[in-house]
Each structure stands twice: as C-alpha cells, then as structure tokens.
C-alpha cells in the first residue's frame, strides 16, 4: 500500500503499522493486502467488485478490518461487501474510509455493506470517514449499510465523519427479527461548503425488537446537512431516535424524522433539536478560564465524542 493509504488508515481504522487478525485493505479500487483467520474467511466476490466475509458461528473476541482508501482524483470506487455473522459470534468490524485528493477531478468511494446476523450474533461495527488533500476535485464518500438481523442478535454501529468530505450520502437500512437490538451512534461534522445527508430506515418486524438511533452533528461555515429517519414498528417493540444538531456560522440542517407504528404495543419516540451552542454553556466554560473560541471548540469536541 502507498504512503497516503497508510496515513489514512492510521486515522480511520486504528492502523498501527500492521493489522492483527483478519483484514482486507482496499486502495484505489484494488486489493492492497488481505488475510483471513481461522474463524473469519475473507474471499473476493465472483460476480463483481467486493468481498464476502464469513464469521464462523461462535467466534468470540476477534476483529476484522475492512478499510478502503482512495488516494487521488479521477477514481470512482464502487464496492459491495457482504458480512455473514454466524450464530452466537461476537466480533468487532472496523471499516473506515479515507479519500485523499490533490487533483481537480473527483475522488469517490461508494461502499455498500450488507450485514446478515444469525441468531444471537453480536457485532460492534466501527466506521470512520475522512477527506484530505487540497485538490479542487471533490472528495465524496457515499456509504450504504443494509442490515438483516435474526432473533436476539445485536449490532452496534458507531459511525463518524470527521472532516474534509465534500459530499456524503449515507443510507442505512435495517430489518430486525424478534428480540434483535440495533444501536446506531452517528457523529457528523461538516465545514466550508460541504454537504452531507444521512437516511435511516429501520423496520422492527419481530416481537421485542428494539432500535436506538442517536445522531449528533455540527454544521459549520456554509455547510448543509439533511437527516431523515424512519422507524417502523410492526410488532410489540421499542424505537428511539434522537437527532441533535449544532449550527455555527451559516451552517444549515434539515431534520425530518418519522415514525410508523402498526401495532398497539409499538413504543416509538423521536427527539430532535437544532440550534447554536447554548450561550450558557459558553459562559460556564469561560468562567473556568477558557476564551470564547476555546469554549466553542471544547463544546463541539465533546458533543461529537
């Protein structure tokens, strides 16, 4: 892998010079390194670009790294990765994507991840996105995550877009069987003229399925964000979504949450708040000796942590 990929990986996928266990590094649309482990098999897809990742039933405590990097303009990388998580497995999946562009043509990564969790499987899915480089060409990351959860499975998705991505269209869909639980934690920051949109569509099919969706975002400069969520309760279930956005300078956010309940015992709640940093928070930190700017930075840093 090249130097740019290496430095992007350090930021987005906990890379410390090498990966322990199963991994596949994608660089500019090609494989730049792969390793399977005894319990986690990574293979190329036969019918198109992408991987099939099999985590054997009962696998515990292992990590699989599937980062992707684009290191220059003129690349439009589309990849389909399918994760099959065996019954009772409990693993950490570290994805993450970095797009670097010094050219005037666009650099884009479009990763379509499908998760199939068997009964009782547990996954912690970490995904961090960043754009770097000074080229005029846009840095685009358009991730799609499609999750199918069998009975009593659990998936926790931690997704963060730190900075430098000019345009991002995120789409997350999930279908949950009985007793399955999905937790999504999204952190998004846009600056300058960046644009980001995040769509969630979660269907709670089974009895006692549950979703907790927490999105925190900061829109600075002239950046724009859109947040759309739909939680559908088709059974006795619990759904909670919370969308908090901080605006700074001339940033703008549109939040359109929706709930659909088709069962008398579907308990669905949505909370949304958009606004500038609370003035009293800044005052409090200033009484501790921080300047106005330091206080704002610290509040945003904490909010997105």
Partner 1 sequence: MEILKLEHLAWDLPDGAGIIKDIDLSLESGKLVVVTGPNGGGKTTLAKLIAGIETPSSGHLFFEGREITGLDITERAKLGIAYAFQQPVRFKGLTVRDMLELASGKKLDDAHLCDLLGKVGLCANEYVDRELNASLSGGEIKRIEIASVLARRAKLSIFDEPEAGIDLWSFARLVETFQEVRRQKAGTLLVISHQERILSIADYIVVIADGYVRGAGPREEILPTLLADERSPRCPLGKESARV
SS in 3 state form for the chain?
Answer: CCHHHHHHHHHHCCCCCCCCCEEEEEECCEEEEEECCCCEEEEECCCCCEEEEEECCCCEEEEEECCEEECCCCEEEEEEEEEEECCCCEEEEECCEEEECCCCCCEEEEEEEEEEECCCCEEEEEEEEEEECCCCCCEEECCEEEEEECCCCEEEEEEEEEECCCEEEEEEEEEECCCCEEEEEEEEEECCCCEEEEEEEEEECCCCEEEEEEEEEEECCCCEEEEEEEEEECCCEEEEEEEEEEECCCCEEEEEEEEEECCCCEEEEEEEEEECCCHHHHHHHHHCCCCHHHHHHHHHHHHCC
Question: Pick from 248, 259, 272, 290: which binds partner 1 (CB under 8 A)?
Answer: 290
Output the smallest distance, CB 164 to partner 1, in A: 21
Q: 187 or 234, CB closer to partner 1?
A: 187
Using the rule CB under 8 A, give the single segment among 17-25, 49-57, 159-167, 282-290 that binds partner 1: 282-290
By beta-carbon proximity to partner 1, the closer residue of 89 and 218 is 218
Q: Given candidates 171, 278, 296, 297, which one binds partner 1 under the rule CB under 8 A?
A: 278
What is the footprint of partner 1 within residues 206-245 (CB under 8 A)? Answer: 216, 244
Under the binding rule (CB under 8 A), the answer on residue 299 touching partner 1 is yes
User: How many residues belong to the site for partner 1 (CB under 8 A)?
Assistant: 22
Cβ nearer to partner 1, comparing 85 with 299: 299
x/- track of binding to partner 1 for residues 243-262 (CB under 8 A): -x------------------
- Residue 93 Cβ, how far from partner 1 at the closest point, in Å? 25
Instruction: Indicate whether 18 belongs to the interface with partner 1 (CB under 8 A).
Output: no
Q: What is the closest distance, in whole angstroms, from the C-beta atom of residue 118 to partner 1 in the complex?
A: 33
Which residue of 10, 256, 284, 297 would you call a contact of partner 1, by CB under 8 A? 284
Binding site for partner 1 (CB under 8 A): 216, 244, 278, 280-281, 283-292, 298-299, 301-305
């Amino acid at each position: 892998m090249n130097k740019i990929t290496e430095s992007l990986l350090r930021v987005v996928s906990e890379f410390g010079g090498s990966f322990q266990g199963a991994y596949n590094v994608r660089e500019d649309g090609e494989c730049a390194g792969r390793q399977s482990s005894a319990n986690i098999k990574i293979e190329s897809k036969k019918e198109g670009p992408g991987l099939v990742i099999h985590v054997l039933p009962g696998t515990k405590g292992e990590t699989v790294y599937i980062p992707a990097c684009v290191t220059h303009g003129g690349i439009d990388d589309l990849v389909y990765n399918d994760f099959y998580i065996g019954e009772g497995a409990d693993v950490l999946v570290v994805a993450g994507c970095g797009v670097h562009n010094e050219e005037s043509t666009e650099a884009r990564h479009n990763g379509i991840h499908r998760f199939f969790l068997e009964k009782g499987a547990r996954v912690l899915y970490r995904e961090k996105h960043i754009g770097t480089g000074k080229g005029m060409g846009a840095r685009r990351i358009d991730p799609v995550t499609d999750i199918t959860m069998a009975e009593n499975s659990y998936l926790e998705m931690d997704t963060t877009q730190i900075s430098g991505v000019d345009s991002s269209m995120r789409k997350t869909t999930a279908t949950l069987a009985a007793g399955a639980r999905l937790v999504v934690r999204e952190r998004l920051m846009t600056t300058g003229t960046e644009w980001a949109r995040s769509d969630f569509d979660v269907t709670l099919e089974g009895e006692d399925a549950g979703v907790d969706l927490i999105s925190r975002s900061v829109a600075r400069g002239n950046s724009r964000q859109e947040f759309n969520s739909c939680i559908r309760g088709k059974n006795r279930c619990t759904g909670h979504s919370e969308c908090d956005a901080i605006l700074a300078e001339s940033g703008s956010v549109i939040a359109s949450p929706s709930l659909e309940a088709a069962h008398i015992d579907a308990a669905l709640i949505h909370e949304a708040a958009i606004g500038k940093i609370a003035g009293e928070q800044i005052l409090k930190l200033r009484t501790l000796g921080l300047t106005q700017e330091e206080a704002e930075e610290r509040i945003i840093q904490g909010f997105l942590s």
